[in-house]
Structure 1
Amino acid sequence: MASCSTVSCCVCESQHTTTNADYWCPECDEGLCSQCLKYHNASKASRNHDVISVDNYKQLPPLIANISTYCSQHERKFQNYCSQHASVCCPLCIQSNHANCVGILSLENVIQTAKTSVLLEIIDQNLKDIKMNIERVVKDRTQNLVEIKKQKQKFHDEIKQVRNQINEHLDNLEQKILQDLHAAEDKIKSHIDDKLGKLIEHTEKLDILQTTMSALKEYASDLQTFLGSKIIETEIRKHELFMQSLYKYDSLQKIDLNCKIEEKISDLMSAVTSFGSISVESSSPLVVLQSEKDKQAQIGTLNHAPSTTFSDIKLTLKRKFEYTGVTGCSFSSTGDIFLIDHSKNRLLILNESGTLKSEILLSKNYPVDITCIDDKTVAVSFHNSDQIQIINILTKIIDSMIKTYSDSHCLCYRDGNLFSCNASIGIQRENVSGNGSSTLNKDATMSPWSFVTTSKDKIMYSNYINSTVTCCSLAGQKMWEYKDQLIRNPRGIAVDKDSNVYIASSGNNSIIVLSSDGKQARKLLGRADGIDSSFGLAFDIKKENLLVANYNGPVLYEIC
């Protein structure tokens, strides 16, 4: 916590008087007694400061309480936030280190939504995901130890049974094989116990982070919440890397004992020189690490393909699909393809080869877009409708319906929320569980055929009318906007694992790729490559495939 000792009034101390503080001003970073608080609230420079009680201040963990509002290098107050470097800046920092940065934002505007931003929800979810994965790994490793013990007992019994059928000459051989067996079990147990110990350590640290998060949300100032979130997010990344390392270095491979008894044991007096052998076999892990964002990103495992430089990105035709009237598309976590047949009011589910697996007739006319929520659920939007349907693809039944503020043609899913383009309003966030909605980015020029996607901590969307592509933070702060003759009447939008942005430029029948910072653009495909009246886009990060929803026939491309 912030402090268990007495906090003194800093104003009184400056006048050589010792008085216990009753309040704490995070912006001034000092304690105040009741009398000094009156002057503090009356002063023009500090009357708008959010003061908290000393008792609440003491509830803040050191990680949050030690966040300073002043630049340690220039001793000036932080006033801006550089989205390019994800750091707070004072005026002198901007001159010396961020003069050429794009996306310098007002810190006052950024922290206004700190406690209500999606980032806190994501951090909470990440903490839960990591703890959930640790519990699954502990359960898996414990079960493996139980199996090893049973296997050891089984082979022990076999060895004793064979040993009882032969004479005293086998005593030495029997002793050796049993020693090998015990040694193998001890080695495996030592290895797994080591991993379990580390997992327990990480669990304890995550418990502390969760306690910190609770205190942060309850007692921290907006600035502390914002900066504390970044610090906690960094700590979470360390835990995520640890979990990833378990896969990378084969720490989660299923381990089995194996014992092979010599076939010619009956001829041991003359030919057999050993009782058998003990070996340890490893197979693919039975436990799979999961999180909400992994499902949305459709990466399936913790392994990532090598990055492709922006200038090297190329797309080649992989497959054409013989369906028309298609406006929306998406991939499932298992690689299946979802297509929205706008003209026949149906949802098509195909495998990668193009074989139709299932067809769902939709209850409303003119469906537009689709996004995958999980392995059995999708969300579908409709033309001239303020309704989004949540459909179970296994039962083909509508699970629920979400009402939006206006026409919401195009949408995407992330971490329990649907992000949709609402005509004449902007980007809307709807909680799938029905726990509320909010407008993240207001844009009165947004048309029904604007599309949206997310990548890491960013939202990207196209504006069909203005021919622009905009990137903003999850809190709705604009980071960059791209507009050029290369892009005309953009519709579908998708991102790859490196946050490169793919755009369906319908005005010139082409597919354009933008760099993650919005500074570079290249044409990848044109009409000659099969692009014609394209609407939605979807990117399979695991297989690095781009699906283009051409109205006259969808096409699948792959990065080469």
Structure 2
Amino acid sequence: MAALANECDVLTCPICLETLKSPRSLPCLHSFCEICIGEFILSTERRSGHKLSSYPCPVCRTVVTPTNPDSDTSQWVLSLPQSKQNGQSESTKQECHMCKKQNNLNTATHWCRDCVDAFCNECLRLHNLMKFSADHKVVKIDEIEMSVSGSETELSLISDSCPIHKSKIFEAFCFDHQKLCCVLCLTLQHRKCETVHAFDEIHYLNKSSVLSSLESELIKMKSKVYELKEAIKFDKEKLDVIFTEMELNASQHVLCLKEKLDSLLDVFIKNLNLTRDEQRLSSEEKMEVVDKLSRYIEQLQNVSKTVQDQCNLNQTFIFFEQSKAELKSVVREVKDVINIKSVNNAEFIFSKTLDQVSSVESLGDIEFITSNSIDSDEFTRQLYPSKSALLDKSRHPLSYNNTSFKHNKTVNLKGFTIYGCVFVSETIVVLGGSQTCKDVLTGNIKTLDISTGNITSEYIIAETVKRLAYDFQSESLFVSCYSSKLHYLKFVKDFTAHVTLERISESVGGTCVFEKNVYVIVEKAVQKVSIEQLEKDVIPQTCFKTDNVCSSINGLEIDSKNKRLLYTSSDFGVVCSSLAGHTIFSYKDKNMKSYCLAIFSQGDILIGDHSGSVHILSMDGKQKRTVIKKCKKVVLIWDICLNKSNTSSVICGPDFIEIYDIVSTKQKI
């Protein structure tokens, strides 16, 4: 899978990490989704706060100059060359790594998964001639691209080769170390391990049992992963909004500060001009009175000369006294004016608050509140079901001696007498019986999720249900009733298409499904009918006679591995016969009263004793051991069933069902 990841890097957008959609290439040959690279360019411009003239490649930071710099930034992405939809443009074809080392440029056609290198045809020929690389896995690059695009399943990824000993294939599994092993692994690393089994010895291995739970888990996991992806996407979009709002708030704050500073500057200049005008007027007034004094002195000087030349003593004395008085008056006027305080010097003292702003190194701090919005442990817990085939260790095969039962839960279904049960998936069991509703006794079929103990659906039927069987291939549920009727319904998530098999008119009992046939005990005989022929009103075929009386409860199950039928006899024993009716063995214990049974994948038989105990009968019918001495709430056991993987069992009776986990006790081999 790591090799596949390396092979497919060129097909993945480095921004969204998904397969390229409408890919665009930069001059540095890195390709991105058109939307992704377009958003990257716009976000780069938003962060810069001005129109860009160039932008960096998101991967290698190479500066890219657009061919249309005068166009709107949102249109720059349209000028980028388109990559080919198959994942690589001509300019980004995969180069041959060996040729590149020799400074030659050739297009690679094949990829070696072991070397993790690309080769052209000539270099591939040399690669295949070398002994150490002759057995390497080589695939065509075109096939890899087709697989990644989803148009074809990459079956070549499924390999049974041992990654350590490349010439060997896996043949066994070590349950002690939970490791797949080839012959050399077993010899060198697992010689002393106690529980190592060849694949053929693991009886529960079959495609349906291995993959059914896996497929259902993968569907749920895919849903959880999608929810995680949506949660991450939501957080990303939320952060984008927060950062955008933060950028807007910062810009608005700075704008407000600028407006405030501009306002302060306007007030300052206005006040400064007012003061300047006041001081200019004061100075002019002083200059005016000083000039007046100067002119008066000059006038006195001129008059004094005239008086000296032309006036007598009396006139001179009068002039002197008058001049003296007027001069004192003018001087006093000057004194009053120049005595007014005025500004003779000025100094601008910058506001200490604003002075602090000039020394600020950043606009502010961003306080990040970090938390795990998605708890990884909780996500892992939700990703895997409580009983996960992907999370749990693979258990070593069940056998007659190592099988044990562990009580999981008891479910109270008060008023519901349960006569039959069958698993329709690893965790869903169908229950059938009778229930009184408004003083009327009717048949009832319910589905229950054993992981939660909750009823998930319900279906009312006229007759009391006796036994159930389910065919996974056709998704059909077969229901035998006390009224000598056999019904079948389609069941996927709910019950649909109810059909009654009118050709069966005698009392019916246990029923099971095998190889597209439904087998049913019909009044002292086992009959079968093809599932494909059910709607054609065909007459069931009698397989063989039995001693069963179907007026009471009896069990019928198929041992798929050994192709044989097992059923409970009229004397409450267990009979094993071939499909043709030849008795293989019969088992009878006078202390047991058996109405029901179930078959393990390896062929051992699980028997429910009517008294409330559960036993395992070996596949040859010669040994019996008790696995449940007494059920906790089920007083009378009417039926018992196993899921396909043999990991869970349901025991039912009046009002209650009990769910047990089946575990294997470690046995030394």
Question: What's the TM-score, normalizing by structure 2?
Answer: 0.41
The structure with the largest alpha-carbon Rg is 2
Question: What's the TM-score, normalizing by structure 1?
Answer: 0.48
